[in-house]
A = this chain, B = another copy of it.
Amino acid sequence: MHCPCPLTRNHEVNPCANCPVRHWTICHALPNDELAILESFKTGDRVCEADQEIYSQGDDLDELYTVVEGWIYLAKLLEDGRRQISQIALPGDFIGYQANLVRPMDHSAHTLTPVRLCVFPRDKFLDFIREHPELSLRLTWMIANYGELGRDRLLSVGRQTAVERVAHFLLELYYRVRLRDPEPLGSSIKMPLTQEHIGDALGLTSVHVNRMLRELRERKLVQVVDQTLTIIDPDGLADVAGFDEDMMDRLLDGGEGFECRSQRIE
Contact = CB atoms under 8 A, between A and B. Distances in A.
B82 A159 contact: yes
A171 B158 CA distance: 19
A17 B100 CA distance: 26
Interface string A157-186: 111100000000000000000000000000
B155 A154 contact: no
Given A151-B150, A246-B58, A260-B126, A141 B99 contact: yes
A49 interface: no
Interface stretch (A3-11, A102-110, A209-217, A220-228): A102-110
B104 A246 contact: yes
Contacts of A131: 133
Task: Label chain A's interface by main secondary structure.
Answer: helix
Interface stretch (A33-41, A112-120, A249-257): A249-257
A266 B140 contact: no
A180 to B, nearest CB: 17
Copies of this chain present in the complex amount to: 2
A232 interface: no
Contact of A133 (B87, B133, B250): B133
A84 B150 CA distance: 12
Interface string A124-165: 011101110110110111111111101111110111100000
A127 B160 CA distance: 39
Contact of A147 (B147, B157, B246, B250): B147
A111 interface: no
Contact of A154 (B84, B133, B262): B84
Contacts of A58: 246
Contact of A263 (B83, B126, B244): B126
A202 interface: yes
A242 interface: yes
A246 B84 contact: no
A199 to B, nearest CB: 10
Interface string A76-102: 101100111011000000000111111
A216 B145 CA distance: 36
A87 B137 CA distance: 23
Contacts of A102: 259, 262-263, 266
Given A100-B259, A147-B147, 16 more contacts: A58-B246, A76-B151, A82-B159, A97-B144, A99-B144, A103-B253, A106-B148, A106-B247, A123-B266, A126-B260, A133-B136, A136-B136, A146-B147, A150-B151, A154-B154, A158-B203
